[in-house]
Structure 1
Amino acid sequence: MEVTCLVVVLRLGVQMLCLPAYLLWYLGIWEPLCKTLFPYIMFGGSLIYNKQMSGKKKEMFSNLKDFASPTGALTLLEIGTGPGTNFQFYPTGCKIICTDVNPNFQKFLDKSLAENPHVQVERCLVAPAEDLHQVPAASVDVVVSTLVLCSVKNPEQVMKEVLRVLRPGGAFYFLEHVAGAPSSWNLFWQQIYNPTWKRLFDGCHLTRETWKDLEKAGFSELKLWHIHAPLKWQPNKPHIIGYAVK
């Protein structure tokens, strides 16, 4: 991905404006502070995001029941569950396994569960998406990821774990922000903000081409659409949405 001299200069300008955060990072203070504060930011931000993306999420999850087991039960694993903002979109009786690397989301997760009694959480795991060894192979019907693959350390390994835990014929549902189109203004500003954005927002990358990871993962079927999310004044408008079948 080509980076121009203008992008480099503007990056430096953004970094200078955020110098206090960088100093805290170099002193080893920012990361633990971020782990504590990030759930509060995500909880507030997810309320706004869900309001803006409600229609897309309803459409995306509308056929979840098609992937239920022969008994009619639907066991769903959500990676990066965060505050549980997807619970409202899951069908009644859905059994959920929650995973997240940050245990500080728990109180927000409990709140979402209280507000969505139609779903049942089987267990919550503190685990990275790259290592789901606590989940047996071929044991879940559906895996869900929304706004998670932007911040994982190894997207390729995440795809391997998703395929491992899914039963044959199961599906991986995704809604992720991604890099803008080549030569677009979206990509231009993403390249400028990306280094600082990763520092401020717990490793979130603005310029990942996540659709390429999905295309080469080895799913038997991939339904993927590029969309522009109706987010105001944000560099992460380009999204991909869809599902992939094992």
Structure 2
Amino acid sequence: MHASVMYHVSPITATLLRSEPLKCCSCGRRHLLAASSSLISFPSTPTDVIEKIHARRPDWYEEFFARAMDQDMRSYEAQISGYKAKLFPHLIENSKHVLELGVGTGPNFKYYARADKDLNVIGVDPNKKMEKYARKAAAAAGLSPAGFSFIQGVGEALPAADNSMDAVIGTIVLCSVEDVYQSLREVKRVLKPGGLYLFIEHVAAPDGTLLRLAQTALDPLQQLLSDGCHLTRETGKQISEAGFSNLILNMTFLSNVSLISPHVYGIAFK
């Protein structure tokens, strides 16, 4: 079953989102926890803010998690590659300053990084060990070293100035932040007027279903094993309430995923 919830949206955006439903979802990202908005205009997120909202992890754990992300997400990325290939072209055409929230190991670069494009990307992730993997992916996609900056940071205090980004990308991120609404406010803050927010998120199954009951029961274990991922968030509702001027929000129910099934995906404009 495939459902679509439509808001005011430009024709070009609607065209780009005519795509096949997602096939699978995996959640292994950690994207971080609430921070004071008084710090959000800094070019990087202060270390004390990160530590205040997320307990410091040992270096061995950070490396283990980054390596696992690099290897274990490959099958997931292969299954949604067709969808991303249709979703990202609008970003390629119109965006020179891009911020990736939860950049991880950089699986999205190949969809929009081009050697012949004057592109500047800020990759934000709380795990500093992701940087070497992200830089390798950026180079493989044709993004010059000078065009990519990795900043250890959090979703609730994005390390970018007001109205400075043409686009913000977030794929499988809001399941793990502490404060979804604050993270969305940050997305809107850093976007230029008319800038776009491109997203893919898994969400809670409908109330009263067996899947929702299972998600509720297993949510604490999921958070523990998947570094903060929540199974029961209503992220689509939160995005729709965030106050974007133009939004297309699609929902798809996946029959081949036992626990993480519904997804929302789309593009929103500031």
TM over 0.5: yes
Give the C-alpha shift of residue 119 in structure 1.
Answer: 6.0
**Is 1:78 paired with 2:100?**
yes
Name the CA distance, whole Å, in 1 between partners of 2:255 and 2:129: 29
Is the contact between residue 96 and residue 119 of structure 1 (CA under 8 Å) also seen in structure 2? no
Structure showing greater Rg = 1
Name the CA distance, whole Å, in 1 between partners of 2:221 and 2:196: 34
Give the C-alpha shift of residue 185 in structure 1.
Answer: 3.2
Is the contact between residue 197 and residue 204 of structure 1 (CA under 8 Å) also seen in structure 2? yes
Instruction: Provide the TM-score with structure 1 as the length reference.
Output: 0.79
Match runs of 1:57-136 below 5 Å = 57-68=84-95, 74-92=96-114, 93=117, 94-118=119-143, 121-132=147-158, 134-136=159-161
Return the match for 2:68 from 32, 41, 51.
41
Q: Which structure's relative contact order is higher, taking Cα pairs within 8 Å and 6+ residues apart?
A: 2
Name the CA distance, whole Å, in 2 between partners of 1:35 and 1:193: 24
SS in 2 for 1:164: helix
Give the C-alpha shift of residue 102 in structure 1.
Answer: 0.8
SS in 2 for 1:63: helix
The percentage of aligned residue pairs carrying the same residue is: 35
1:50-98 deviations in whole A, cap 9, x for unaligned? 1111111112212224543xxxxx2110000000000111152232111
Give the C-alpha shift of residue 107 in structure 1.
Answer: 2.1
Give the CA RMSD over aligned residues. Answer: 2.2
CA pair 52-182 structure 1, distance change in 2 beyond 3 A = same
CA pair 157-67 structure 1, distance change in 2 beyond 3 A = same
Name the CA distance, whole Å, in 1 between partners of 2:213 and 2:144: 41
Give the match for residue 56 of structure 1: 83
The runs of 5 or more residues in structure 1 that have no matched partner are 1-28, 69-73
Return the match for 1:146 from 168, 171, 176.
171
- In the alignment, residue 207 of structure 1 is paired with which amino acid? T
1:130-187 deviations in whole A, cap 9, x for unaligned? 012x311101100000011100011111011111100000010000111112223332
Give the match for residue 27 of structure 2: none
Is the contact between residue 173 and residue 243 of structure 1 (CA under 8 Å) also seen in structure 2? yes
CA pair 113-46 structure 1, distance change in 2 beyond 3 A = same
Is the contact between residue 145 and residue 173 of structure 1 (CA under 8 Å) also seen in structure 2? yes
